[in-house]
Amino acid sequence: MISIEQVHAIASKIESAGINEATVSELRQEYHPVHFTYCMDDDLPNNKPVFEHNDFNLYLIDGREHCLCLTNDYDTATGIVVAEVIAD
Protein backbone atom coordinates (compact mmCIF):
# COMPACT_ATOMS: atom_id res chain seq x y z
CA MET A 1 0.00 0.00 0.00
CA ILE A 2 1.16 3.47 -0.91
CA SER A 3 -0.60 6.53 0.48
CA ILE A 4 -1.56 9.71 -1.30
CA GLU A 5 0.59 11.55 1.25
CA GLN A 6 3.62 9.46 0.28
CA VAL A 7 3.05 10.23 -3.41
CA HIS A 8 2.93 13.95 -2.64
CA ALA A 9 6.09 13.74 -0.49
CA ILE A 10 7.85 11.83 -3.29
CA ALA A 11 6.74 14.45 -5.82
CA SER A 12 8.08 17.23 -3.56
CA LYS A 13 11.42 15.46 -3.28
CA ILE A 14 11.65 15.13 -7.07
CA GLU A 15 10.69 18.78 -7.51
CA SER A 16 13.50 19.92 -5.21
CA ALA A 17 16.20 17.39 -6.18
CA GLY A 18 15.42 17.13 -9.89
CA ILE A 19 14.43 14.12 -11.92
CA ASN A 20 17.35 11.78 -12.57
CA GLU A 21 18.71 8.35 -11.61
CA ALA A 22 20.38 9.72 -8.47
CA THR A 23 17.08 11.05 -7.15
CA VAL A 24 15.29 7.78 -7.94
CA SER A 25 18.09 5.90 -6.16
CA GLU A 26 17.60 8.08 -3.07
CA LEU A 27 13.84 7.41 -3.20
CA ARG A 28 14.51 3.66 -3.31
CA GLN A 29 16.57 3.94 -0.13
CA GLU A 30 14.22 6.31 1.68
CA TYR A 31 10.97 4.46 0.84
CA HIS A 32 12.20 0.86 0.94
CA PRO A 33 10.51 -1.60 0.21
CA VAL A 34 8.54 0.47 -2.37
CA HIS A 35 9.77 -0.39 -5.86
CA PHE A 36 10.75 2.58 -8.07
CA THR A 37 11.15 2.59 -11.84
CA TYR A 38 12.41 5.52 -13.91
CA CYS A 39 11.43 6.01 -17.55
CA MET A 40 10.20 8.56 -20.06
CA ASP A 41 6.53 9.48 -19.87
CA ASP A 42 5.98 8.76 -23.55
CA ASP A 43 6.83 5.11 -22.75
CA LEU A 44 3.45 4.94 -20.96
CA PRO A 45 0.91 6.09 -23.57
CA ASN A 46 -2.79 5.91 -22.73
CA ASN A 47 -2.17 5.59 -18.98
CA LYS A 48 -3.41 8.01 -16.32
CA PRO A 49 -0.82 9.14 -13.77
CA VAL A 50 -1.79 9.56 -10.13
CA PHE A 51 0.33 12.72 -9.97
CA GLU A 52 1.00 15.12 -12.84
CA HIS A 53 3.75 17.74 -13.04
CA ASN A 54 5.24 19.71 -15.93
CA ASP A 55 8.54 17.77 -15.68
CA PHE A 56 7.37 14.33 -14.53
CA ASN A 57 4.38 12.12 -13.83
CA LEU A 58 3.97 9.45 -11.18
CA TYR A 59 2.20 6.15 -11.82
CA LEU A 60 1.43 3.36 -9.35
CA ILE A 61 2.59 -0.23 -9.87
CA ASP A 62 0.74 -3.31 -8.63
CA GLY A 63 3.28 -6.09 -8.13
CA ARG A 64 1.16 -8.57 -6.22
CA GLU A 65 0.72 -10.96 -9.15
CA HIS A 66 3.35 -12.67 -11.28
CA CYS A 67 3.56 -9.72 -13.70
CA LEU A 68 3.73 -6.03 -12.82
CA CYS A 69 0.94 -3.75 -14.01
CA LEU A 70 -0.07 -0.13 -13.60
CA THR A 71 -2.89 0.69 -11.23
CA ASN A 72 -4.66 3.71 -9.79
CA ASP A 73 -5.51 1.82 -6.61
CA TYR A 74 -3.34 3.07 -3.75
CA ASP A 75 -4.31 0.09 -1.59
CA THR A 76 -2.81 -2.44 -4.03
CA ALA A 77 0.18 -0.36 -5.11
CA THR A 78 3.63 -1.78 -4.40
CA GLY A 79 5.72 0.62 -6.45
CA ILE A 80 5.93 3.88 -8.35
CA VAL A 81 6.98 4.75 -11.88
CA VAL A 82 8.75 8.10 -12.09
CA ALA A 83 8.17 9.15 -15.70
CA GLU A 84 10.10 12.13 -17.03
CA VAL A 85 8.18 14.49 -19.31
CA ILE A 86 10.21 15.91 -22.19
CA ALA A 87 8.67 19.03 -23.71
CA ASP A 88 8.09 18.82 -27.45
pLDDT for position 63: 86
Which residues form the domain of 23?
Answer: 4-84
Q: How many domains does the chain have?
A: 1
Tally the residues of the chain.
88
**For 2-57, what is each residue's pLDDT tens digit?**
999 999 999 999 999 999 999 999 999 999 999 999 999 999 999 999 999 999 99
Strand partners, 76: none
**For 51-66, what is each residue's pLDDT tens digit?**
999 999 999 999 887 7
**For 63-88, what is each residue's pLDDT tens digit?**
887 788 999 999 999 999 999 999 87
Strand partners, 39: 83
For the chain, give percent helix, strand, coil, nearest 5: 30, 25, 40
